[in-house]
Structure 1
Amino acid sequence: MMLSYSAALELLLAEVDQLPLSIETVPLLEAGDRILARDIAAPCDLPHWDNSAMDGFALRSQDVVAASPDRPVRLPIVGRVMAGEQPPLLTSTAGVACAVMTGAPIPAGFDAIVKVEDVVQQENAIAVSTPIPAGQFIRVRGEDLHQGSPLLAKGQHLTPMALMLAAAVGLSELPVWSKLPVGLISTGTEVVPWSQPTLALGQIRNSSQPFLIQQLQRLGCEIRAIAHVPDDPEQFAAIAQQFWSQGVRLLLTTGAVSMGVADFVPAALERLGCQAIFHKVAIRPGKPLLFAIAPEQQGLVLACPGNPVSTTVTAEFFLKPLLMQRRGESRSPLWLPLAESVHKPEGLQCFWRSRLTPDGKVWVDPQQSSAALKSLVESSHWAILPADTGFIAAGTPVEVQSLT
């Protein structure tokens, strides 16, 4: 009996300690797309001081409580503050206004900003014709972050927005997880480089390799070695040994892992001293997946099926959880109702391409061939369909996972 997805994933994640893990500190501009290795608290308040959210005039709200279109309040202008300038030190702020530009600090004694377009300027004074509430258009010191409050969380993906936040509080470097050294071997005599302009009868381009390269980079890996081998177990073994000698700790292979006469990878790995943890999982696509330990190399092997969609599924639902577990990351499940009823193979957990409808339901694409690529681009989510049934009625909530 084949393992269920959850049982196979549990066995996979139990071996995560086989992968090396360390923390390195890198400059801010080199931290993009890396994974933060420690919680970071804000080293200062943000904003650093009270400042204006508008071009306008600072005033005391109590001075314009009675302002109206019929009886505007006239306030003399006693100064101007540009962004980056020090505000003037005024002996009194009663009954006066100070011009301030967006981002400029608020002079002491004022508690509100009125926009330029909301006043009438009269030589060196403004006329205010409506009451201004205290705090209007003032960004208060620390309203975004207080010193010592959580800034960035361990396990967080360092997006450009996260780097912008770190820069705003003066962090010039960040602690991130080291990159896992990975080797990638694709197999198949029929497989040719993706850049090959023409194909002979029976040949296919290596479409999985650029996908995996990009995915591994996005997942914080260092792709230390890449190769393609024909259906030749000896050549495969030699390249695997070479990769391990280069420090590869996770070996990822595609193809030659099923039950055909050319599916040599399981036997080749066994001869190399690898110990298979599981081979075949009750899923579709991706059923022939093999996971093994390479004890002598202190590493792991994930041998994926060769069909491109099977590769994407095994990368998303085995490789990604493995790497996330290694770094202490987690993701929250999302459940949405099916837009239409779905028939599926009973006994197999299916990861099927789908899109979200405008009313927030999941539409499952009828094209689910493991070799069909166009629907991958047209889909937005994986619909995760349970193994214990062959029919799921419209409206039934199912778990979904983004394709991106």
Structure 2
Amino acid sequence: MHRTVATHREAVRQLLAPLGNGGRTERLALLDALGRGLAQGITAPLSLPPFSNSQMDGFAIRSADVPESGAELRVVAPVPAGAIPAALEPGTAAPIMTGAMMPSGADAVVPIERAVPDSFPVPGGQAMVRLPPAAAGTFVRNAGSDVAAGQPALAAGTFLGPGQLGLLAALGICEVNVYRPPAVLLVTTGDEVVEPGQPLPAGKIYDSNGTLLEAAMRQAGVCVIRAGISTDSPEQLRAVLRHHSTAADLIVTTGGVSKGAYEVVRQAMDGQDVEFLHVAMQPGGPQGIGTFDGVPFLGFPGNPVSCLVSFEMFLRPVLAGLFGAPAPRPVVRARLAASLVSPEGKHQVRRGTLLPGGLVRLEGGDSSHLVHALASSNALVHVPEGVSELAEGSEVEVWML
């Protein structure tokens, strides 16, 4: 019996849940917190805007002074941004700049282009201006209309991007408590695997998994510990893991988790609290999960696309839920540019390119070794378990990469 994608993702979440418990936080300056998850909710210490201000360059007025036919008002001292204006007397209009504080008594702003004349008079004169009516609140940003003092500003677990950091700066906050990213020990395995840049003997392949997964993890804000390539010796793999795992919050291996004769990760985990199973997913069905010497462990398949899909389906969303980072993948609905077939009992994940107009084009076939097709893609296309074929034009869920 194969485990469902949702069941395995929940198992990964439970495995890593202790990492989200208190104590794994640090206080950082705002820009250093970019891309992190907020560890504590933020309550607004002040209102935004902190005072009612003008949304336009124009004239601040008392709306009751201007009937439907318009009115001619005496122009008083202008109100520049940053100034504290005098109260607005009845029958007068104050030239006001965008963002400037509304005078006491004023409740509306008429844009300069609607005034006659449509320009500000020279200060100090006895100018008059004819203005059309404006309802109370017109072109006025009321104090607290964005967020009021004492209201929640950002919830714990919020991903801190430019917009969130800008809000915190507007609230006068310069430091925040964020989650420390987990440290992941990443080990690729296989006698057939060679480091890029080295000579490539016959029967060998270059290791793409290490670069692929480390890049995905670093993009997700994870601290990656690379231990190089381990051979198909269980003893050597155990030694590598024990040498590096004391500094790791999580161990991730690639390869050696299927049911073949030389599955080194399975052999190295003998006696450990690790389960090897099959998830109803293509690619990325074979998975390992448990602990090695008490350190959380995930074993991903060895084919490049399989290991990346495993990361995207299981580890990345769990990290986002626990630490508020990385940000979840944007999810859109798109229509297939061509028909497809899928194993009925599996959740299939295909590489694709989202095109203008809401079409998604599949890249390459469903084989898990097609790295070039992966590099040509900007999305993952999901075909749910139980769906065996979809016609051209069918709507599918797409995760943007």
Percent of residue pairs identical: 34
Partners of 2:227 and 2:89 in 1: CA distance: 70
Question: Is the partner of 1:15 in helix, strand or coil?
Answer: helix
Q: How does 1:163-242 map to 2 (within 5 A)?
A: 163-194=165-196, 196=197, 202-242=203-243
1:351 aligns to 2:352 (yes or no): no
Partners of 2:312 and 2:393 in 1: CA distance: 25
Partners of 2:329 and 2:375 in 1: CA distance: 24
Q: Which residue number in structure 1 is paired with residue 147 of structure 2? A: 145
Partners of 1:301 and 1:314 in 2: CA distance: 14
1:264 aligns to 2:260 (yes or no): no
Partners of 2:109 and 2:199 in 1: CA distance: 67
1:286 aligns to 2:284 (yes or no): yes
- Contact 1:41/1:148, CA 8 A, preserved across alignment: yes
| CA-CA distance at 1:96 after TM superposition | 1.6
TM-score where L is the length of structure 2: 0.85
Q: Give 5+ residue unaligned stretches, structure 2.
A: none
Of 341-350 and 18-27, the range deviating more from structure 2 = 18-27
Partners of 1:133 and 1:143 in 2: CA distance: 18
Q: Which residue number in structure 2 is paired with residue 381 of structure 1? A: 379
Partners of 2:329 and 2:264 in 1: CA distance: 38
Match of 1:326 among 322, 325, 344: 322
TM-score where L is the length of structure 1: 0.84
Equivalent residues, number: 391
Partners of 1:221 and 1:334 in 2: CA distance: 22
The amino acid of 1:342's aligned partner reads: L
Question: Is the partner of 1:235 in helix, strand or coil?
Answer: helix
Q: Which residue number in structure 2 is paired with residue 310 of structure 1? A: 306
Q: Which residue number in structure 2 is paired with residue 22 of structure 1? A: 22
Question: Is the partner of 1:316 in helix, strand or coil?
Answer: helix
Question: Is the partner of 2:76 in helix, strand or coil?
Answer: strand
Q: Give 5+ residue unaligned stretches, structure 1.
A: none
Question: Is the partner of 2:167 in helix, strand or coil?
Answer: helix
Question: Is the partner of 1:157 in helix, strand or coil?
Answer: coil
Q: Which residue number in structure 1 is paired with residue 75 of structure 2? A: 77
Aligned Cα root-mean-square deviation (Å): 3.1
- Contact 1:337/1:394, CA 8 A, preserved across alignment: no
- Contact 1:255/1:305, CA 8 A, preserved across alignment: yes
The amino acid of 2:280's aligned partner reads: A
| CA-CA distance at 1:54 after TM superposition | 1.9
Distance 1:337 1:104, change over 3 A: closer
The amino acid of 2:76's aligned partner reads: V
- Contact 1:20/1:249, CA 8 A, preserved across alignment: no
- Contact 1:38/1:153, CA 8 A, preserved across alignment: yes
Question: Is the partner of 2:78 in helix, strand or coil?
Answer: strand
Partners of 2:153 and 2:215 in 1: CA distance: 29
Partners of 2:12 and 2:112 in 1: CA distance: 62
The amino acid of 1:5's aligned partner reads: V
1:300 aligns to 2:296 (yes or no): yes
| CA-CA distance at 1:350 after TM superposition | 0.8
| CA-CA distance at 1:182 after TM superposition | 1.4
Partners of 1:198 and 1:81 in 2: CA distance: 73
The amino acid of 2:222's aligned partner reads: C
1:158 aligns to 2:160 (yes or no): yes
